[in-house]
Every structure is written in C-alpha cells, then in structure tokens.
C-alpha cells in the first residue's frame, strides 16, 4: 500500500522532508503551493509522529510508479545485469567460449573474438545464471555480421528457476524469427521471474552463435534481504 500526505505551506511554516526509516522511499510533487509527499515502505509502521505520513506495505505497482519517476521503466531499461552472471553452453566450437556473450562488447565480426560458437548439434543452447532471482524486463541479442546470420532464426528465449533440461524447459519469453546481420534486437519479457536465461535453437544439425546478450530487470522479492531486521 502506498499512502500520500498533503502539507500546506504558510507564511510562518517551514517544510521539512520526513525522516525515513530503513526500507522507505519518498517522492514529492508541488501544485499551486501545495506539496504532496508519497512515501513507500517495505516495512509496516504506525503513523510517523511529526510528519502525518502513514507508512504502508510496498507493492509492485508502487515500485513501478517510483521507477517511472526515475526514468527506469520502458525506454530506459536500466543496467545490464548479465555482466555479473555466469554462463555455460551446450558445446564448444572454434573456441567460441560462452563468456564472450557477456563481455560488454557488441562487436559482431568473428575475427573480433567477441562471439560465442557451439558445435553443430541437436538443440544447441546457451545459459546465463544471474545468481539471484530477477523479474526480467528485456533481453537484447546481438547477431553475427560477417557470416551465417540466419542461424539464429527460430531460437527461443526461456526464463525461469529450473535446471530441468539444462534450463530449456523454463517458460518462454520469445521466439526469435530473425535478427538482421550485425544488429541488436530487444525482446520484452514482461517481468518474467527467473535466475536463468536460456537461448536455445530447437532441431537438429544447428549452430548457436551469440555476439552479445544483455539483460535488464529488477531483483525479485525472494532475493532481497528484509531491511526491517
């Protein structure tokens, strides 16, 4: 629950920001001299003496109101959380190690040594372990430019917390119909929750090459320590 308190300024009054407790955030708007403070908390408190602001439980909707104010929702997707993860893939071809897809480099020519490569196999896959559960907003994939850009066609992005079938059985965010050679394409995953992000190509005699994978999202409540103690 997010609560709002309205404070009116007078000639002999002084406005102060409220004293915040652990786990609280506050935002302020002012219209025609009337200041409106919106306070959110992950902890349940009684009315805060001296401020007149009733503190309530933080809700996901409240979080996104705040993120929208900060410019961190659609259009400003936030930091790339893939860089801090660990990666693996189904096989190795031409020394195209899986770490190349999270090296922060979108270089898409093979000679730049920034693209992954599996061997030719049935259902090749690449998996990112974010180490914590996140609500995934976007996944951005950069495709190879100098060769074979159609190999990515039909690949699936899967997100979840299970390692069944190496993570390839998790819920599907998107099917990649195509990505133009040397370009990056962003897929919206609508806050699907998961620790693992997989890219897998169904079928036989397939190669999987990724020149960069970037992921944005917010840490899931299950992974956040209680700030209230």
| Shared-domain flag, residues 10 and 90 | no
Contacts of 97 (CB under 8 A, 6+ apart): 116
| Shared-domain flag, residues 114 and 198 | yes
Task: Check which CATH number belongs to the domain holding 172 and give it.
Answer: 2.60.120.260
The residue among 70, 94, 111 that closes a domain is 70
Q: Please tell me the predicted confidence (pLDDT) of residue 39.
A: 46
The residue among 27, 43, 70 that closes a domain is 70
Task: Express each pLDDT in 157-178 by its tens digit.
Answer: 999 999 999 999 999 999 999 9
Nearest to 202 by CA among 121, 87, 142: 121
Backbone angles phi, psi at 23, to 5 degrees: 90, 5
pTM listed for this prediction = 0.66
* Domain hosting residue 19, numbered range: 3-70
| Shared-domain flag, residues 60 and 97 | no
Contacts of 40 (CB under 8 A, 6+ apart): 2, 24, 25, 26, 56, 58, 62, 63, 66
The span from the CA of 108 to the CA of 147, in Å, is 10
Q: Count up the domains in the chain and report the number.
A: 2
| Shared-domain flag, residues 210 and 123 | yes
Task: Express each pLDDT in 83-106 by its tens digit.
Answer: 999 999 999 999 999 999 999 999
The residue among 44, 70, 96 that closes a domain is 70
| Shared-domain flag, residues 163 and 89 | yes
The span from the CA of 107 to the CA of 177, in Å, is 22
């Amino acid at each position: 629950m997010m609560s709002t308190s309205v404070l009116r300024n007078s000639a002999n009054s002084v406005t102060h920001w409220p004293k915040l407790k652990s786990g609280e955030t506050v935002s302020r708007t002012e219209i025609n001299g009337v200041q409106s403070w919106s306070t959110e908390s992950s902890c349940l408190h009684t009315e805060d003496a001296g401020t007149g602001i009733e503190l309530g439980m933080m809700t996901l909707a409240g979080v996104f109101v705040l993120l929208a104010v900060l410019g961190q929702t659609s259009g400003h997707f936030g930091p790339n959380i893939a860089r801090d993860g660990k990666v693996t893939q189904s096989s190795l071809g031409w020394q195209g190690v899986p770490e190349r897809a999270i090296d922060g480099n979108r270089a898409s020519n093979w000679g730049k040594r920034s693209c992954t490569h599996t061997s030719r196999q049935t259902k090749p896959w690449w998996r990112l372990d974010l180490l914590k559960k996140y609500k995934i907003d976007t996944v951005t994939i950069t495709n190879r430019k100098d060769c074979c850009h159609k190999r990515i066609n039909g690949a699936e992005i899967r997100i979840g917390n299970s390692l069944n079938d190496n993570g390839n059985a998790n819920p599907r965010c998107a099917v990649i119909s195509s990505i133009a050679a040397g370009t990056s394409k962003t897929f919206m995953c609508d806050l699907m929750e998961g620790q693992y992000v997989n890219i897998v190509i169904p079928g036989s005699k397939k190669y999987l090459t990724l020149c960069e994978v970037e992921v944005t999202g917010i840490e899931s409540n299950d992974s956040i320590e209680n700030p209230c103690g």
